[in-house]
Amino acid sequence: MSGTTGIGIIGAGMISEQYLTNLTVYPDVTVHVVGDLDVDRATAQAEKWGVAQGGDVDAVLGHPDVDIVINLTIPAAHEQVSVAALQAGKHVWTEKPLAVDRAAGRRILDAAEAAGRRVGCAPDTVLGPGFQTAKRAIAEGLIGTPYAAATGFQWQGPDVIHPNPDFLFARGGGPLFDMGPYYFAGLVHLFGSVSGVAALGGRAATERSVQVGPRAGEAFPVEVPTHLSVLTEFAAGQQAQSLLSFDTAIFRHGVFEVHGTEGTLVLPDPNYFTGAIQLYRPAADRAGIAAQQPELVPVVGAETGRGLGALDMARAIAEGREHLATGELGYHVLDVLESVAEAVEARAFIDVASRVETPAAVAADFDPFARTL
């Protein structure tokens, strides 16, 4: 396996399943070790996926063949694990959000700079062929000049399926921090930096109760807004409106529409790697509006899943280019999320201070299953 980039995973929970599915088959990377506070869980995941070693966190940080640590711990542990990995001389790919607040996010980026190592940050769903086909089409002028977007994620909330849902209704949770990263990262991939946000936030209930599992019936407080209407302004002049809710009986997700001077493009759900792309053109008359049907834009690119961003980072390190989902982008999205929370509190428009380069598009012929290293 020489010539491939060495991977170590920290955090052997739910999402490690998806990462291991892909990272164990991409020829450019080799997963050497899985670590977790729960060593038995790490060992079981390593065995299940044919990874040579399972162990504790130090087994990953001290592994000589690990170039990139994939941080799949819970958000509250992201900073500690990412900084420790950077200080051990590893590059880091971390699940979203980058950290729980701006200060912690900044400490991760500072640690990377001090160590001369890279940070990449989820979501990488928006690097998938669905979103990227749409991104390339917009860049090539399919809908003229894009000037606005509308996004939406709404349902009754994760307490209907999660046996321990409290954290999803506490600081760092809510639809804003849980689902917002997909929608705002998607918008930044298309339009570049956000310059300001306004938002209203409310909650249908101040207390909810666990609905499934052994704690069913137990009440817990709703500490954060669970229904948010956000207006976003981009430094390049576009605007977006976004609904994020855990308070509606209707389940509607993945609404992601971009309006341009010559049409509207409906993008795939930014929480998935692919999906349908629909193009609407302005109609010529009233009858045309009544009969309006979208054209389907074919998706180009290999189907894949989580781990794509880490793979891009491995190739970018080898090729000496910038990777696509940078820690700076993760920081900017975190800055936007915190600014939205502040806008709700202050009932004011909040300027977003950080700026990030608009990431390049993934090439149409990007093949995760090719050996390039």
Ligand X SMILES: NC(=O)c1ccc[n+]([C@@H]2O[C@H](COP(=O)([O-])OP(=O)(O)OC[C@H]3O[C@@H](n4cnc5c(N)ncnc54)[C@H](O)[C@@H]3O)[C@@H](O)[C@H]2O)c1
| Binding-site ranges for ligand X (CB under 6 A) | 10-15, 36-38, 41, 57, 72-75, 77, 80-81, 95-96
Query: Could you tell me the smallest distance in angstroms from the CB atom of residue 67 to ligand X?
Result: 19
- Unique residue bearing structure tokens 């769903």: 125
Phi–psi pair at 316, nearest 5 degrees: -65, -40
Query: Could you tell me the smallest distance in angstroms from the CB atom of residue 71 to ligand X?
Result: 8
Query: Could you tell me the smallest distance in angstroms from the CB atom of residue 92 to ligand X?
Result: 13
Phi–psi pair at 231, nearest 5 degrees: -110, 130
User: Nearer to ligand X by C-beta: 146 or 180?
Assistant: 180
- SS3 state at 278: strand
Q: DSSP string spanning 179-240?
A: HHHHHHHHHHHHH--EEEEEEEEE-S-SEEE--SSTTTT-EEE--S-SEEEEEEEETTS-EE
Query: Could you tell me the smallest distance in angstroms from the CB atom of residue 42 to ligand X?
Result: 8
User: Nearer to ligand X by C-beta: 80 or 372?
Assistant: 80
CA distances from 132 to 125, 190, 298 (A): 10, 9, 12
Query: Could you tell me the smallest distance in angstroms from the CB atom of residue 156 to ligand X?
Result: 17
- Unique residue bearing structure tokens 């990262």: 185
End-to-end Cα separation, the chain, in angstroms:
11
Strands of 119-121's sheet in order across? 53-55, 29-35, 5-10, 68-71, 91-94, 119-121
Query: Could you tell me the smallest distance in angstroms from the CB atom of residue 339 to ligand X?
Result: 20
The closest residue (CB) to ligand X is: 13
User: Nearer to ligand X by C-beta: 32 or 259?
Assistant: 32
User: Nearer to ligand X by C-beta: 165 or 260?
Assistant: 165
**Is the Cβ–Cβ distance between 70 and 310 less than 8 Å?**
yes
User: Nearer to ligand X by C-beta: 115 or 122?
Assistant: 122
User: Nearer to ligand X by C-beta: 39 or 297?
Assistant: 39
- The verdict on whether omega for the bond into residue 181 sits within 30 degrees of 0, i.e. cis, is no
